[in-house]
């Protein structure tokens, strides 16, 4: 008896923690090896053990309970514009940045470096999502800085240091840096050309690196304590991209005023603010009037990171579901041995593995883009495909996995509750679903060769499954003329994602998983809810493969 006079605590599975999230994840270790990043396994295993530790789960719970607070003024009445965090958040940031999750792809020159970094992100998206926003933006900022060799040389090495420094100081004085991105204004986030913040030259110098002063606002500014941030403002030549420090070299706050913090549905440990710029000191990055072109390269990386992140969320949800249903008993059997429950968990596992392979394949395409034009085309067209589909599926997967836990899953003590509130977010920032689908169509229209690169990739599995052959042929027909696809853009992009996932599973996953995927997702015998599988699916083998929780 553990302290109750009335009853014993029975049949409660306990927490799934203190596991190496990398080594215990068979599909992930296989994907990392298949896409050229096996050399990073020791670092991934160390990070997997950290992100999967009881300590990180404790810190994540604390950081999401004790939320960031905005302090606009100090006690003497001066503007301060700082955000104060619980120590748990700083500890988490120290771990994620200390493990080079933001910089691994830039500091390792080997092929597979982007795959390894994507795997790091996948692991941390199972640890705590609130640190993944600054981690992902800091990683991606290097792509935008490449528009200016001098600014890249100045900041790149500092950004890439494997360190987090919470000090309130100018970036020049800090051990490690975080980078944010403030684009969205009140009147429009998707339509960035509607930006009304203005930038005026501060000196006679023009061109990238020139000093400007910015006046206006941003409606969303996550990570307001970031040491540097990228932002957009209108110049005489149009919308332009700027790099601004959070603090000036003399240690004073750059000319910005934090208005308030957003009270968010999820992602609560991370601060997201509203901000006004009052003559913000900033330098032009890239050409005047080409701001979207400059920042879009950063967005390409953050979009991949959200596909990876949503895949990580799904993996964590499935791991929790396998763990719980394996240990919880009802009607004299483990839940997972009840045929309907086994079908639900297997279906979730199929879904999760499909997203993993898609996101890692696109990280591999990114890795090889510089050397192989076909890989660059694939990355261009399929990164938004993956962003759309993985972000769309994550909330559905998490909701079903939550239900596998019965009432416990809905209670705020449980990790599932946090995943549930987190899951829709990746579909919103860095481009909502519609905007992302339109981006896919735009790629096809501007670079018709992207369609061929996509179909060639899907065709790598030609002959492996009749359903995929028929599905790919139909898709090739639909994509013959991208003009006029806008009203059916979601249908087309969804089909592209499913064809890509099927092709990858047929080439890389066991037949139990790939056959089940093709016979359900490719116009197959499948219901609208998870678990509505046809007869004959090898659910036992699929659940066995998915489960870190299976080894009791
Ligand atoms: C927690 C959180 C943190 C954020 N942090 C940041 C940040 O740090 N920096 C930053 O810049 N932004 C940030 N954002 C903002 C986010 O990027 C925007 O909310 C997003 O881009 C959508 O813009 P919007 O909110 O203005 O919606 P809108 O652009 O008004 O879109 C509303 C709806 O209309 C649809 N829509 C828009 N255009 C079209 C079209 N052409 N065709 C069809 N449908 C369309 C969209 O898909 C969407 O469903 C954050 C958002 C959240 C929720």
pLDDT for 295 equals 94
Q: Calculate the average pLDDT of the chain.
A: 97
| C-alpha dihedral, 73 to 74 to 78 to 84, nearest 10° | -50
Nearest CA, atom 17, ligand 1 = 429
Establish whether residue 130 lines the binding site of ligand 1, counting it when its CB lies within 6 angstroms of any ligand atom: no
**pLDDT tens-digit profile of 500-512?**
999 999 999 999 9
In angstroms, the CA 130 to CA 346 distance is: 29
**pLDDT tens-digit profile of 383-424?**
999 999 999 999 999 999 999 999 999 999 899 999 999 999
Task: Tell me the CA distances in angstroms from 42 to 38, 48, 405, 512, one per residue in order.
Answer: 9, 10, 33, 29
Q: Which atom of ligand 1 is nearest to the CA of 183?
A: 11
Nearest CA, atom 37, ligand 1 = 190
Under the banding of pLDDT at 50, 70 and 90, the label for residue 2 is low
Establish whether residue 222 lines the binding site of ligand 1, counting it when its CB lies within 6 angstroms of any ligand atom: yes
CA count, 13 A, side-chain hemisphere, 461:
27
In terms of pTM, does the model score above 0.95? yes
Q: Which residue has the higher pLDDT, 3 or 237?
A: 237
Q: Which atom of ligand 1 is nearest to the CA of 137?
A: 8
CA count, 13 A, side-chain hemisphere, 37:
33
**pLDDT tens-digit profile of 4-48?**
999 999 999 999 999 999 999 999 999 999 999 999 999 999 999
pLDDT for 551 equals 39
Q: What's 237's DSSP letter?
A: T
**pLDDT tens-digit profile of 230-241?**
999 999 999 999
Q: How far is the CA of 432 from the centre of ligand 1 (A)?
A: 6
Q: Is the dihedral of CA 208, 212, 215, 221 positive or negative?
A: positive
Nearest CA, atom 32, ligand 1 = 190
pLDDT for 37 equals 98
Q: Does pLDDT of 552 surpass 60?
A: no
DSSP 479-490: TT--TT-GGGHH
Q: Are strands 256-261 and 272-285 parallel, antiparallel or unpaired?
A: antiparallel
Under the banding of pLDDT at 50, 70 and 90, the label for residue 550 is very low
Nearest CA, atom 8, ligand 1 = 222
Q: How far is the CA of 350 from the centre of ligand 1 (A)?
A: 30
Under the banding of pLDDT at 50, 70 and 90, the label for residue 482 is confident
Nearest CA, atom 22, ligand 1 = 189
- Probe residue for ligand 1, chosen from 189, 256, 261 as the CB with the greatest number of ligand atoms within 8 Å: 189
- Arithmetic mean of pLDDT, 427-440: 97
Q: Which atom of ligand 1 is nearest to the CA of 262?
A: 1
The label of the residue with tokens 């420090």 reads 245
Establish whether residue 460 lines the binding site of ligand 1, counting it when its CB lies within 6 angstroms of any ligand atom: no
Q: Does pLDDT of 314 surpass 60?
A: yes
Q: How far is the CA of 190 from the centre of ligand 1 (A)?
A: 5
Establish whether residue 248 lines the binding site of ligand 1, counting it when its CB lies within 6 angstroms of any ligand atom: no
Cβ count within 10 A of residue 260: 10
Establish whether residue 432 lines the binding site of ligand 1, counting it when its CB lies within 6 angstroms of any ligand atom: yes
Q: How far is the CA of 188 from the centre of ligand 1 (A)?
A: 7
The label of the residue with tokens 């200016």 reads 148
Q: Which tokens go with 94? A: 């120290």
Establish whether residue 306 lines the binding site of ligand 1, counting it when its CB lies within 6 angstroms of any ligand atom: no
Q: Does pLDDT of 427 surpass 70?
A: yes
pLDDT for 3 equals 78
**pLDDT tens-digit profile of 128-176?**
999 999 999 999 999 999 999 999 999 999 999 999 999 999 999 999 9
Establish whether residue 184 lines the binding site of ligand 1, counting it when its CB lies within 6 angstroms of any ligand atom: yes
Nearest CA, atom 16, ligand 1 = 429
pLDDT for 143 equals 97
Residue 120's contacts (CB-CB under 8 Å, 6 or more residues apart) are: 43, 44, 47, 99, 100, 101, 104
Q: Are 305 and 141 in contact (CB under 8 A)?
A: no
Q: How far is the CA of 137 from the centre of ligand 1 (A)?
A: 17
The helices-and-strands tally (H runs, E runs) of the chain is 18, 11
Nearest by Cα to 526 from 536, 534, 515: 534
Establish whether residue 429 lines the binding site of ligand 1, counting it when its CB lies within 6 angstroms of any ligand atom: yes
**pLDDT tens-digit profile of 89-120?**
999 999 999 999 999 999 999 999 999 999 99
Establish whether residue 267 lines the binding site of ligand 1, counting it when its CB lies within 6 angstroms of any ligand atom: yes
Q: Does pLDDT of 549 surpass 60?
A: no
- Probe residue for ligand 1, chosen from 64, 138, 184 as the CB with the greatest number of ligand atoms within 8 Å: 184
- Arithmetic mean of pLDDT, 64-89: 98
In angstroms, the CA 539 to CA 512 distance is: 8
Helix axes 132-145, 87-98, angle to 10 degrees: 50
Q: How far is the CA of 522 from the centre of ligand 1 (A)?
A: 31
Nearest by Cα to 504 from 464, 548, 539: 464
Q: Does pLDDT of 1 surpass 80?
A: no
Q: CA Rg, the chain, in Å?
A: 24
Q: How far is the CA of 262 from the centre of ligand 1 (A)?
A: 15
Establish whether residue 181 lines the binding site of ligand 1, counting it when its CB lies within 6 angstroms of any ligand atom: yes
Establish whether residue 188 lines the binding site of ligand 1, counting it when its CB lies within 6 angstroms of any ligand atom: yes
């Amino acid at each position: 008896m553990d302290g109750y006079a009335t009853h014993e605590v029975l049949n409660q599975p306990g927490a799934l923690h203190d596991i190496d999230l990398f080594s215990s994840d068979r599909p992930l270790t296989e994907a990392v090896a298949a896409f050229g990043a096996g050399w990073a396994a020791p670092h991934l295993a160390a990070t997997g053990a950290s992100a999967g530790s009881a300590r990180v789960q404790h810190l994540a719970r604390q950081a999401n309970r004790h939320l960031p607070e905005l302090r606009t003024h100090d006690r003497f009445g001066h503007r301060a514009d700082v955000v104060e965090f619980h120590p748990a958040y700083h500890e988490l940031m120290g771990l994620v940045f200390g493990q080079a999750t933001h910089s691994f792809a830039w500091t390792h020159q080997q092929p597979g470096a982007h795959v390894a970094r994507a795997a790091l992100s996948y692991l941390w998206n199972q640890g705590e999502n609130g640190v993944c926003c600054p981690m992902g933006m800091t990683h991606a900022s290097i792509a935008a800085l490449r528009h200016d060799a001098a600014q890249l040389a100045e900041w790149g090495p500092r950004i890439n240091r494997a360190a987090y420094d919470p000090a309130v100081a100018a970036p020049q004085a800090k051990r490690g840096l975080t980078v944010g991105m403030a684009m969205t204004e009140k009147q429009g986030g998707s339509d960035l050309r509607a930006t009304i913040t203005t930038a005026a030259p501060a000196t006679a110098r023009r061109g990238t690196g020139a000093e400007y002063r910015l006046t206006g606002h941003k409606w969303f500014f996550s990570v307001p304590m970031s040491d540097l941030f990228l932002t957009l403002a209108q110049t005489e030549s149009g919308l332009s991209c700027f790099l601004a420090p959070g603090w000036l070299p003399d240690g004073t706050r750059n000319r910005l005023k934090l208005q308030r913090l957003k009270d968010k549905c999820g992602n609560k440990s991370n601060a997201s603010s509203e901000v006004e710029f009052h003559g913000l000191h900033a330098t032009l990055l890239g050409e005047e009037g080409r701001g979207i072109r400059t920042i879009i390269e950063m967005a390409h990386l953050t979009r991949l990171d959200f596909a990876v992140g949503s895949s990580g969320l799904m993996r964590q949800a499935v791991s929790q579901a396998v763990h719980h249903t394996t240990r919880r008993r009802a009607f004299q059997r483990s839940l997972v041995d009840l045929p309907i429950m086994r079908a639900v968990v297997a279906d979730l596992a199929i879904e999760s593995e499909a997203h993993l392979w898609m996101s890692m394949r696109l990280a591999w395409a990114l890795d090889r883009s510089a050397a192989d034009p076909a890989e660059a085309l694939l990355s261009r067209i399929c990164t938004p495909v993956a962003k759309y589909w993985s972000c769309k599926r994550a909330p559905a997967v998490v909701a079903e996995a939550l239900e596998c836990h019965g009432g416990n899953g809905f209670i705020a003590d449980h990790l599932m509750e946090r995943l549930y509130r987190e899951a829709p977010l990746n579909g919103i920032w860095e481009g909502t679903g519609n905007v992302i689908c339109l981006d896919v169509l735009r790629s096809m229209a501007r670079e018709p060769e992207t369609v061929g690169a996509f179909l060639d990739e899907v065709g790598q599995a030609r002959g492996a499954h009749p359903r995929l052959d028929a599905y790919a042929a139909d898709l090739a027909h639909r994509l013959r003329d991208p003009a006029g696809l806008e009203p059916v853009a979601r249908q087309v992009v969804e089909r592209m994602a499913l064809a890509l996932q099927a092709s990858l599973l047929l080439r890389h996953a066991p037949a139990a998983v790939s056959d089940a995927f093709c016979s359900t997702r490719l116009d197959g015998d499948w219901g609208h809810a998870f678990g509505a599988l046809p007869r004959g699916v090898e659910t036992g083998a699929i659940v066995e493969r998915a489960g870190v929780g299976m080894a009791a």
